Structure 1
């Protein structure tokens, strides 16, 4: 049986990812097999988890996935010694309207799986009030069990003592306190953390974080607070159909945001996947029957993409007879033009008429429920697709026929409908699952 914990916090930005990576590496250094998961739709953290553990991490999401899908995904932890689920935002933060089996909150996963929560508390600018916050989170939802807390960014021994005393009086275990230590901070970018693939020194950063955390956190007590867990047999797997039998998948620094569980589900269904790099001016495998361009950071590489004529011509030739689908950044590259942050316009592949601008930044963030008005690879007309959208680009023109009627989590209709033209389709949301 594995020792299972959820790493959460009162809010974003207090150190959940750094602590998760440090704990995973510290326990791995002790010879334990560690399996990580990411609660919620963040598609960057799982790559960092994999770097820390040597095992693939996947997202589990109560808004977009049903219980059977979540049970199927967490079953990969059956052979692990330790299972860590990293939360998103604050412990109870989700959307207003319930999705498939929850609001997307980390608390949904903790209650569903029966895994106790370790809170990362940043007591900067406060002392005893940190205990009140932790006690409020402990008592807010009866089905969610608090194991204890790890304090982060503690200012001094006196500060730590004040916070510890208050937490002890509240009956809340303190597993450790981390003084401020900028060296273990992970670099960020406008969509969150810089991707693990971009950081050649990521292993050193995680090693340093593991060493630092092992010095200041009681790893044995923390492990002792975990639930003893073994997965129940999942009745069904994921409701994810591959877009084709042979899939050409764009994969490089500009095209890397694809949910790991999606690719795994495609392979489990018998699909064969070949990768190619648009940044290296490569073209889709000629033997593929569908091409998929994931999201990423095309705005950072727009000039290079525009200059790679072999890639652009090869993709156009592919789309003359076979489907091509793009998600978010991939959708932008399927369009006619992309304006970068400096205001320079770059010609994209022109398979769709979409024009986007990163010079006019505005955050688009949230869950999406799309009902397809036309088929897209792997999904029929009328299919209800659940996904997540996160980008700063704005639409300058979206002239093609809409691919879907898209709603946010409250039911409001969205302007980002996706597009279709010929064999090309695209959406701003990243697909997570189809409703059963």
Structure 2
């Protein structure tokens, strides 16, 4: 494997994504082949990575995946010159109970793969204390190596000097310091960043980030800090069964939350995928033998979905003879109705009795382990599926046959069981991997 680095931070919102995109584009502009990965279950960031590098990025997740699966996924980087893995939340943040190969923390991936960590530190409102935080992160867990830090949002040259001196005193390298720069702020909404495919100017934004970071960070020093992975790429793929041979996949601004590694695993197993847009009032491919509606932002497009009679009737006709499955937002659209944030109730496809509301937002977030009590496309009763749930909807009604017994990462049973009715099934969690 080529040399790699993990980009992490003490917390969310510090600038990991911006630095990752900037480094990737800056090195690509130098002629290097850059491969990105995302640690954890975030399904939005990989599209930004692909925009920056021109290469597909996938998620690696220590709670849901075993070491062999992670080793297989990182094998796509064997022909790269440098690998960047963007972390989630803070460096050591994960769940309390260990999953398949870890707790889902970025530190798990850094230690497993042997890639040093570049910390993004935001010293706003502090100075020497930033060095204490960095030193604490460096020393917290043996096996996780700190390469150095990049300071973000420094207030002034004097502020930068104070922090640099303190970091030097504890033996931590500073690769650069970024002053505040609003022009490279990535727009956000309630589930995270506005998706890359929705931003017409994303290429220019990444170019500006690369230009800005190149002027304030020693790119050569960061590159020299990278280290080869201690894990050999694995030939065996993920333990993933396609939901069918010919899959009709909903794909547009309302249905876009699907993990890239899942689609790749389906194709690697011989499945064919055709896409259609519910927002464009399109229907599933008549030759498909299964339809899959991923998550996304149906709550932002509920009125249009409700008005698209051709899509709704076409999906219902498809479901008369063939399976249809929805994840999270897709599950909501398979339901009877969706009430938006303004309290307006919109009729959905009615394939399931589920009714949800965004009028009173409540966050549902976390890993999920589901034992199927009824079959769903690609999986039989008793299958154990690992996934992740993140949405703000409230269940008004979930009257159909429960699809699964679902536990959170602590082992507690949760109410979001998913549903099954005739050929339609749905879950609130996004499938990441199956238990082997």
TM-score tier by shorter-chain length is: over 0.9
Superposed CA deviations along residues 209-267 of structure 1, whole A, max 9, x for unmatched, are 00000000000000001103486141521011100000000000000000000000000
Residue of structure 2 equivalent to 1:354: 354
- Residues 74 and 231 in structure 1, CA contact (< 8 A), matched pair in contact too: no
Consecutive unaligned residues in structure 1, runs of 5 or more:
none
| CA deviation string 1:312-344 (max 9, x = no partner) | 000000000000000000000000000001000
1:188–1:194: 8 Å Cα contact kept in structure 2?
A: yes
Distance in 2 (alpha carbons) for counterparts of 1:335 and 1:222: 49
Question: What root-mean-square deviation, in Å, do the aligned CA atoms of Structure 1 and Structure 2 show?
Answer: 0.7
> Across the two proteins, how many residue pairs are aligned to each other?
436
1:335-392 per-position Cα deviation (integer Å, ceiling 9, x unaligned): 0000001000000000000000011100000000000001100111000000000000
- Quote the Cα distance in structure 2 between the aligned partners of 1:33 and 1:122: 29
Query: Following superposition, which runs of at least 4 residues in structure 1 exceed 4 angstroms of deviation?
Result: none
Q: TM-score, normalised by structure 2?
A: 0.99
Check the 8 A contact 2:116/2:145 in 1, yes or no. Answer: yes
Cα distance, 1:174 vs structure 2: 0.2
Q: Distance in 2 between matches of 1:302 and 1:58?
A: 29
Partner of 1:201: 201
Q: CA deviation at 1:70?
A: 0.2
Deviations 1:146-202 (A, max 9, x none): 000000000000000000000001000000000000110100000000000100000
| Equivalent in the alignment of 1:386 | 386
What pairs up with 1:9-408 in 2 under 5 angstroms? 9-229=9-229, 232-234=232-234, 236-408=236-408
- Judge conservation of contact 2:114–2:228 (CA < 8 Å) in 1: no
The answer on whether the counterparts of 2:112 and 2:231 sit within 8 Å (CA) in structure 1 is: no
TM-score, normalised relative to structure 1: 0.99
Where in structure 2 are there 5+ consecutive unaligned residues? none
For residue 160 of structure 1, give the secondary structure of its aligned residue in structure 2.
Answer: helix
Tell me if the contact between 1:239 and 1:434 (Cα under 8 Å) persists in the aligned partners.
yes
Asked if the contact 1:298/1:333 (under 8 Å) is kept, the reply is yes
Quick one: distance in 1 between partners of 2:230 and 2:320? 49
Checking the alignment, whether the CA contact within 8 Å between 2:114 and 2:230 is kept in structure 1 is: no
Answer yes or no: is the 8 Å Cα contact 2:74–2:233 preserved in 1. no
8 Å Cα contact 1:2-1:230 kept in structure 2? no
Three-state SS of the structure 1 residue aligned to 2:78 is: helix
* Offset of residue 269 of structure 1: 0.2
Query: Deviations for 1:256-288, whole angstroms, at most 9, x for unmatched residues?
Result: 000000000000000000000000000000000
CA contact (8 A) 2:40 2:105 kept: yes
